[in-house]
Structure 1
């Protein structure tokens, strides 16, 4: 598997992030990266965008924020380009993000994310990193958490 790093989305890589695609069957669950970039810029949740780089190439995107109510770090907008899926890059990106957040935000109590109930691939991927569904929902999505 390629070595990954998380890098800020900036003037030099935003076009590569915007050009990421997901597999056709995932489009019902995953928004285009341009939507997530706009949400980071204009939404009120304080989402922080990061590009996923592997071997110097932008291969994915994710964003995160901290919930002020419980200091949980929420992870969202996870995209690995369709051509690079199934290679462990998603799990590596989530793990790298958790390490980054813990190093930068020591008050974080754990991690949370949500996904559509029918998205079995997301359920399996997040469970493989240690996330467990809690019974909570966020809009139409199920919430999974990982305690620190």
Structure 2
């Protein structure tokens, strides 16, 4: 699947903000507008748009932790485009980008233990649960082989 990961800009932020998830997923992710505020008003997260055929189809953000690990957060694939491989392609491209930095020891993310779809997706991409918790979420890390 041909997905590009691009910075959120003045030209595409509205398309990112318009992304929605299925009602049953709202307990696991926030609205993209919330994530955009975290990126804009905080000092940790960098926002990215997932683009396919010139159209924004997903959103995610990344940051660097004190231990230099790269964190992925705020992963959203538009409800109308789910189950088409976009999430897998988006996370794969982002891991590849983040891990290319030689100063990156691993790539981490967290998810609700009840979010079986996320758990299965991330495990299939090589993320391993570490036993750590971030708030009430399970932490999983991807490390170079």
Per the alignment, in what secondary structure is the counterpart of residue 86 of structure 1?
coil
Count of equivalent residues: 144
Deviation >6 Å, runs of 4+: none
CA separation in 2, counterparts of 1:116 and 1:43?
23
Paired residues of 2:99 and 2:107 also in contact (CA < 8 A): no
Which residue, out of 51, 54, 57, partners 1:56? Answer: 54
Matched, 1:82 2:84: no
Give the TM-score normalised by the residue count of structure 2: 0.96
Q: Unmatched 5+ residue regions in structure 1?
A: none
CA separation in 2, counterparts of 1:51 and 1:20?
10
Partner residue of 1:93? 90
Per the alignment, in what secondary structure is the counterpart of residue 99 of structure 2?
helix
Matched, 1:141 2:137: yes
Q: Unmatched 5+ residue regions in structure 2?
A: none
Deviations 1:57-116 (A, max 9, x none): 000000001112x2111000000000111111101101101111233x320001100001
Per the alignment, in what secondary structure is the counterpart of residue 22 of structure 1?
coil
Aligned-pair CA distance for 1:37: 0.4
